[in-house]
Amino acid sequence: MARAKRLLPSGCRFHITLRCNSRQFLIAKALRRDVLLAVLKKAKQKFAVKVYGLCLMANHLHLLLKPTDAKELPRLMHWVAWYSAMALNRLSGRCGHFWEARYFSTPIHPKDHRRMLNTLRSIHANPKAAGVRKGFFDPYSNYGHYSRLQSDGISEWSPDFLKLSATLDGCARRYERFCQRYRHHGKAGPKCHWGSRMLKRLVSHSRTRSKQKKVSPGQQRLPWDWDVRLNQVPEDWHQDAVKFRRANGIRDGDIQFRF
């Protein structure tokens, strides 16, 4: 059966979600996220695209992009997925599929300013919603680019963000207040279809079932400490990641929560 054709309306921004294969925590280590930052920097040099929103989680990533030509989005994402998979497989000593079969993309009309800001905020709220951080600052999210008004080498300010006030400082303050009003709504539990009900009858009732609230695999806390003592990456890749992390990372006085 043929896959559904992507919606690629001209002039739109696109909210991209790309997950690791089988939702494994393949990009939990900091060094692997550094590689992803370097790949995104290379993608900006190779393709005509603007990166408005960015957040790298342990098993998936979120991007808010605006390609100059919307029809170039599949080619752009194919290159990002291929190049990053090749680099990360080599770095981690693994083989096979690194990403899921297909990325998710949602077009946002350029005149839909409210939806654009809501999408940007939801991307920046991912670490907080997952319980990784108490606040919005994270070294692998570009929230600091909007709050501190500093260049991180990859991100650009969204036109909708620049319309919040007449000055950049005013835009940053209003966006911060907008983010503070964010309230996370948990994902609904999985629907029980007829096949699931039949399987439950076949399984012995003697097994005890956990009464704890189910958590989406993408929102679980990692059961191990991050270890970045792996192979070295090229120096220019390292510098690109350092610049991004310095602009967006947690500083003294920022609210944070670490494992």
Q: Tell me what pLDDT residue 190 has.
A: 60
Q: Tell me what pLDDT residue 197 has.
A: 61
Q: Tell me what pLDDT residue 184 has.
A: 83
Q: Tell me what pLDDT residue 215 has.
A: 46
**Residue 86 near residue 77 (C-beta atoms within 8 A):** no
Helix residue spans in the chain (DSSP H): 30-46, 73-92, 113-124, 126-129, 143-147, 159-162, 168-180, 194-202, 235-248
Q: Tell me what pLDDT residue 115 has.
A: 97
Q: Tell me what pLDDT residue 102 has.
A: 87
Q: Tell me what pLDDT residue 187 has.
A: 66
**CATH class belonging to 13-185:** alpha beta
Q: Tell me what pLDDT residue 220 has.
A: 42
| Domain residue spans of the chain | 13-185
Q: Tell me what pLDDT residue 101 has.
A: 81
Looking at the DSSP bridge assignments, the partners of residue 19 are 60
Per-residue pLDDT 10s for the chain (259 aa) are: 567 788 899 999 999 999 999 989 999 999 999 999 999 999 999 999 999 999 999 999 999 999 999 999 999 999 999 999 999 998 888 889 999 988 999 999 999 999 999 999 999 999 999 999 999 999 999 999 999 999 999 999 999 999 999 999 999 999 999 999 998 877 666 666 666 565 556 555 545 554 455 544 444 443 334 343 445 788 999 999 999 999 999 987 775 444 3
Phi/psi at 223 (5° precision): -85, 5
Count the neighbouring beta carbons within 10 Å of the beta carbon of residue 164: 20
CA distance 76 to 200: 44
CA distance 18 to 76: 13
